[in-house]
Amino acid sequence: MRPLFHPPIEAVRLEAVLHALSDPVRVAIFADIAGADCARTCSAFASVNDRQIPKSSLSQHFKVLREAGLIRSERQGVEMHNTARCAEMEGRFPGLVAAIVKAHEVEAAGRTEGIEGLAAK
Amino acid sequence: MRPLFHPPIEAVRLEAVLHALSDPVRVAIFADIAGADCARTCSAFASVNDRQIPKSSLSQHFKVLREAGLIRSERQGVEMHNTARCAEMEGRFPGLVAAIVKAHEVEAAGRTEGIEGLAAK
DNA sequence: TCCCATAGTTCGGGAAATTGGAACTATTGA
DNA sequence: TCAATAGTTCCAATTTCCCGAACTATGGGA
């Protein structure tokens, strides 16, 4: 297994970041990792937004996030510890990650309201 | 020709916005429109980043930006006037569009430096 | 040491999205 | 009415995405 590739922060491309986060499963994963105070494993996301994600797909999703420069993945025994590279990203593209994570929360909140609104009928 | 569809601002999806702007041609187009003080036509972008864009592709790109909620397109005689929906987007996802446009500028500046650095050798 | 379980990666083929040339539509002006 | 201009739609070739199956790596036991 080739060692995981992490781009140096100055090589991070906006295009790759936006592409990585333009997938609903990946933003959800990233928002969770970015909001967590400790590293998260891949298998922690076997289900995202009440949907089962096959592990081959999960692996791909983590690869996309990693190669976009959004997360750092380190093997810790049998599992993988993933952390967000928020501080570095903030240096490269100020405000970007924060705005996206916030936007993701806005949308999630809107969805919950929708459900409540529906349930209230 | 069916009338152009513009999503109401509250229906705008983060996923669609990020996907729309994850293409180098589309961010460049959007950044230009967002920075312009008057409407821009599609044909103004026959070439983007020194690359020729066929008009069928351009038409698709504008459609993606429009359906993501990022721009408004209105026919004005024989041409199409495109304007950015920045204020509305700011209300829906505060700071998002501004951070992306800024990040795009950061990258463009980095590229220019690179060229200058190369030329200086 | 050998085997098993766990965590993730890689491979490969079918499905879906993107690209761009050619043909088409809409609007204006002569 | 005809020609010119500005975009759109169609479609086929290419590319990318998704996920099941097979594989690799690490850490325990027996």
* Digit-coded pLDDT (tens) for B18-63: 999 999 999 999 999 999 999 999 999 999 999 999 999 999 999 9
Give the pLDDT confidence score for residue B107 in this predicted structure. Answer: 95
- Tell me the pairing of strands A79-84 and B47-48: unpaired
The reply to whether the CB atom of residue B49 sits less than 7 A from any atom in nucleic acid chain D is no
- Which of B38, B34, B27 shows the shortest CA–CA distance to B76? B38
Main-chain dihedrals φ then ψ at residue B6, nearest 5 degrees:
-120, 120
Whether B1 is covered by a domain: the verdict is no
Q: Note whether residue B50 is domain-resident.
A: yes
- Nearest nucleotide, CA A54 to C1': D19
Q: Which of A30, A5, A45, A120 is nearest to A83 (CA)?
A: A30
- The pLDDT, as a whole number, for residue A60 is 98
Domain harbouring B69, CATH code: 1.10.10.10
Residue of A114 and B39 predicted with greater confidence: B39
B71 within a domain of the structure (yes/no): yes
**What total number of domains does chain B contain?**
1
Position B91 confidence tier, pLDDT thresholds 50, 70, 90: very high
Record: contact B14-A27, CB cut-off 8 A: yes
Residue B113 lies in a domain: yes
Domain span holding position B16:
9-120
* DSSP-assigned beta bridge partners for residue A72: A83
By the CB < 8 Å criterion, does A13 face chain B?
A: yes
Specify if B14 maps to a domain. Answer: yes
- The Cα of A19 is separated from the nearest Cα of chain B by a number of Å equal to 5
Residue B3 lies in a domain: no
Contact B110, B118 (CB under 8 A): no
Q: Does A4 reside within a domain? A: no
